[in-house]
Chains A and B, each alone.
Chain A
Amino acid sequence: MTDAAILSVPQAESLFRRNLRDFRRNRLAMASLIVILVFVVMAVAAPLIAPQDPNETDLLRRLQPPGWAPGGDWAYALGCDGLGRDILSRIIYGARISIFIGLAVIFLATGVGILAGLAAGYFRGWVDVVISRVVDILLGFPYLIFAIGLMAMMGPGLMNIVLALAYKEWVIPCRVVRGETLAVRELEYVEAARALGAGPRHIMWREILPNILSPVIVISTIRMANVIILEASLSFLGLGVQPPTASWGSMVSDGRAFILEAWWVSTFPGIAILLLVLAINVASQGLRDAFDPRFSE
């Protein structure tokens, strides 16, 4: 350390900000973050940047190849699907579905998971027994089959997909929160807060929650990639968003019939799924490296 560094007045820097700085140093993670941002901008500004109306069919352009291939047209850069709709525009609109569902499911699941996990870990006793058994039971179900079953019961629709996925997704943050709560509630500063007259609500929200937030944020971002794949899977199976609304999963599914003659119909939405999921995974690894003390140097 240089003299200047020793002499400088210590600046208030929270652990959170220090972690954020670690994250910014990680180039791969920053690149992934940019990819994610590009998708987010695509989703938000879809009507402004989509070259065509995503739902406008044109039978004359049926299975038209991408712009660079013979017979292609750059106005329809990634080609057209079986109904002559512009694939690029549909991918841009499809980002809305994937990102919205990913965020909505994760927010809902993390919120419920934090509440349930805090209650289980803090109150112990029968509260813990009930919540933990429910978690165990839900973990025993195969995720996709569980979601398919729920979709079959509730019927298709955007909100129903969110609910169907969140129904099971909350157990992941719940288990993390419960485990961390069990560890943190025994710490000296929680006892000190009790000695100063803090009640259960204060202890859960102010003493425990801020100290276990890092692993929860990390696990939530990792799970978001998973939720996006699940949504694509449901749409692929025809249980997701209903046509004509563009969803990456259903676009891949639509192209199956022509995969030999028109590879672009399935391939491009597939690449979109791959890119977004990969970017989220790499970014969440970076988050974990920065936020989880076990991975920081």
Chain B
Amino acid sequence: MSVLLEVTNLRTEFATRAGLVRAVDGVSLRVARGECLGVVGESGSGKSVTFSSVMGLVRSPGRVAAGTIHFDGRDLRGLAPEEMRAIRGRDIAMTMQDALTALNPALTVGEQMAEVMIAHDDTLPSARGARRSAIRDRSVEMLGLVGIPAPETRLRQYPHEFSGGMRQRIMIAIALTCRPQLLIADEPTTALDVTIQAQVLELISDIRARLGMSVVLITHDLGVVAEHCDRVMVMYAGQVVEEGPTDQVIGAPRHPYTRGLLASIPRPALRGQPIRPIVGQVPDLVGLPPQCRFHSRCPLARQGCLVQVPMLPAGPGRQARCLRLEETS
């Protein structure tokens, strides 16, 4: 499979009053065409910032300090702002975390869908009437695709007239109007209840298969990843700590952090036993020493762990950032 998105050694920093925060520190990743990559990690692990950096959406006081981002053979970091703007929404689309606030409350859903098309679609007919009906048809089609009933009527409605799950689906519909090659779904299900969650994820998987696009699914729910992603990338404190095919990573995690994450999920087989949380706290990202970031919480930590740890091969197509890999196989 050919590579669609390739990020190497990405470093994104935020200048805060407390000091320089490296929210993303040396992240490398690849997304193949048609693939679904799951990105997991707790809040503040750098998942969202990594992909904001890819989209060129990091704003002051943050900045992308180092690394390369190649999308479909183009170097995104070298693009002018206008060129990047043309790519956003057309080639790479991103849906925001909170569906309830991610739609403009002052415009109808139809207007918001139309604007993306007007901004990006050069194939629209130029004659006014034909253009309008082309936009309408496509909007109706997209709303139908995400399973909104009576799309013709719904286009004329405002976001507050939709439920949370519908708004999430509308956001996905808007993101998909220009048939992007890559959809970055940033926690698409956080604000939704469990049944709607399942519907939305099913929808994304389904559309991915139909349109042949790649998806990056940012979440902190390993269950979601297990069900929908080909590969998974686990992030901790701004770094990738483990990466590989989903079934292998979840079936036999190699990094102590991934193991801790999986062990802390309540499951029916372990009924009656206490949940085992990962002890300790995520380290403060200001002025981190260049050593293993997990060692203070790691059950396998030794004196020798206090060095910089690279990503090490951990099986076919797998990597993990740990010096104790032989103990976790």
**Contacts A195-B55, A197-B119; is A15 near B105 (CB within 8 Å)?**
yes
Q: A195-B94, A198-B89, A211-B104 are in contact. List 17 more A-B contacts (CB 8 A).
A: A12-B158, A12-B161, A13-B158, A15-B160, A189-B105, A191-B102, A192-B95, A192-B103, A193-B104, A194-B88, A196-B89, A197-B85, A197-B86, A197-B116, A197-B119, A206-B104, A206-B115
Nearest chain-A residue to B88 (Cβ)? A197
- Complex Cα distance, B88 from A213, in Å, reads 28
- For B116, the chain A residues whose CB sits under 8 A away are 196-197
B171 at the interface (CB under 8 A from A): yes
How many residues in A have their beta carbons less than 8 Å from beta carbons of B?
A: 24
- Complex Cα distance, B120 from A188, in Å, reads 21
A195-224 interface mask toward B, CB cutoff 8 Å, 1 = contact, 0 = none? 111110010001100110100000000000
Complex A-B: 14 CB contacts under 8 Å: A14-B158, A15-B158, A187-B101, A188-B96, A188-B98, A188-B102, A191-B96, A192-B94, A192-B96, A192-B102, A193-B104, A195-B96, A199-B85, A211-B104
Check if A196 sits within 8 Å of B101, measured CB to CB: no
Q: Which 6 A-B pairs have the closest CB atoms?
A: A197-B89, A210-B106, A196-B89, A197-B88, A195-B94, A188-B101
- Complex Cα distance, B194 from A78, in Å, reads 75
- For B96, the chain A residues whose CB sits under 8 A away are 188-189, 191-192, 195
- For A14, the chain B residues whose CB sits under 8 A away are 106, 108, 158
B90 at the interface (CB under 8 A from A): yes
Nearest chain-A residue to B116 (Cβ)? A196
B124 at the interface (CB under 8 A from A): no
Nearest chain-B residue to A17 (Cβ)? B158
- Complex Cα distance, B186 from A188, in Å, reads 12
Check if B57 sits within 8 Å of A195, measured CB to CB: yes
**Contacts A15-B160, A197-B116, A197-B120; is A188 near B97 (CB within 8 Å)?**
yes
- For A197, the chain B residues whose CB sits under 8 A away are 85-90, 116, 119-120
A10 at the interface (CB under 8 A from B): yes
Identify the interface centre among A14, A199, A207: most chain B CB within 10 Å of its CB: A14
- For A211, the chain B residues whose CB sits under 8 A away are 104-106
How many residues in B have their beta carbons less than 8 Å from beta carbons of A?
A: 36
B314 at the interface (CB under 8 A from A): no
The residues in A between 180 and 194 inclusive whose CB is less than 8 angstroms from any CB of B are 187-189, 191-194
**Contacts A196-B93, A197-B88; is A210 near B158 (CB within 8 Å)?**
no
B156 at the interface (CB under 8 A from A): yes
**Contacts A12-B157, A12-B158; is A195 near B103 (CB within 8 Å)?**
no
- Complex Cα distance, B103 from A195, in Å, reads 12
- For A194, the chain B residues whose CB sits under 8 A away are 57, 88
- For B94, the chain A residues whose CB sits under 8 A away are 192, 195-196
- Complex Cα distance, B111 from A12, in Å, reads 13
Residues of chain A at the chain B interface (Cβ within 8 Å):
9-10, 12-15, 187-189, 191-199, 202, 206-207, 210-211, 213
- For A187, the chain B residues whose CB sits under 8 A away are 101
B175 at the interface (CB under 8 A from A): yes
B307 at the interface (CB under 8 A from A): no
- Complex Cα distance, B120 from A96, in Å, reads 48
- For B108, the chain A residues whose CB sits under 8 A away are 12, 14
- Complex Cα distance, B97 from A189, in Å, reads 10
- For A189, the chain B residues whose CB sits under 8 A away are 96, 101-105
Check if A210 sits within 8 Å of B97, measured CB to CB: no
- Complex Cα distance, B97 from A188, in Å, reads 8
B174 at the interface (CB under 8 A from A): yes
- For A195, the chain B residues whose CB sits under 8 A away are 55, 57, 88-89, 93-96
- For B171, the chain A residues whose CB sits under 8 A away are 192
**Contacts A188-B102, A195-B88, A197-B90; is A202 near B107 (CB within 8 Å)?**
no
Check if A15 sits within 8 Å of B93, measured CB to CB: no
Report the minimum CB–CB distance from B122 to chain A (whole Å): 13
B108-120 interface mask toward A, CB cutoff 8 Å, 1 = contact, 0 = none? 1000000110011
- Complex Cα distance, B171 from A9, in Å, reads 23
Identify the interface centre among A13, A189, A197, A213: most chain B CB within 10 Å of its CB: A197
- Complex Cα distance, B115 from A202, in Å, reads 9
- Complex Cα distance, B159 from A10, in Å, reads 12
Report the minimum CB–CB distance from B213 to chain A (whole Å): 15
Check if B105 sits within 8 Å of A202, measured CB to CB: no
- For B98, the chain A residues whose CB sits under 8 A away are 188
Among A196, A202, A206, A210, point to the contact of B174 (Cβ < 8 A).
Answer: A196
Report the minimum CB–CB distance from B274 to chain A (whole Å): 37
- For B82, the chain A residues whose CB sits under 8 A away are 199
- Complex Cα distance, B92 from A195, in Å, reads 9
- Complex Cα distance, B51 from A191, in Å, reads 13
- Complex Cα distance, B97 from A15, in Å, reads 24
Nearest chain-B residue to A211 (Cβ)? B106
Nearest chain-A residue to B155 (Cβ)? A12
Report the minimum CB–CB distance from A6 to chain B (whole Å): 14
- Complex Cα distance, B111 from A14, in Å, reads 13
- Complex Cα distance, B85 from A35, in Å, reads 51
- Complex Cα distance, B157 from A191, in Å, reads 22
Check if B101 sits within 8 Å of A10, measured CB to CB: no
Among A10, A192, A198, A206, point to the contact of B107 (Cβ < 8 A).
Answer: A206
- Complex Cα distance, B93 from A197, in Å, reads 9
Check if A196 sits within 8 Å of B106, measured CB to CB: no
Check if B104 sits within 8 Å of A196, measured CB to CB: no
- Complex Cα distance, B102 from A188, in Å, reads 5
- Complex Cα distance, B102 from A193, in Å, reads 9
Among A10, A188, A192, A198, point to the contact of B119 (Cβ < 8 A).
Answer: A198
- Complex Cα distance, B158 from A202, in Å, reads 19
- Complex Cα distance, B88 from A124, in Å, reads 23
- For A202, the chain B residues whose CB sits under 8 A away are 115, 119
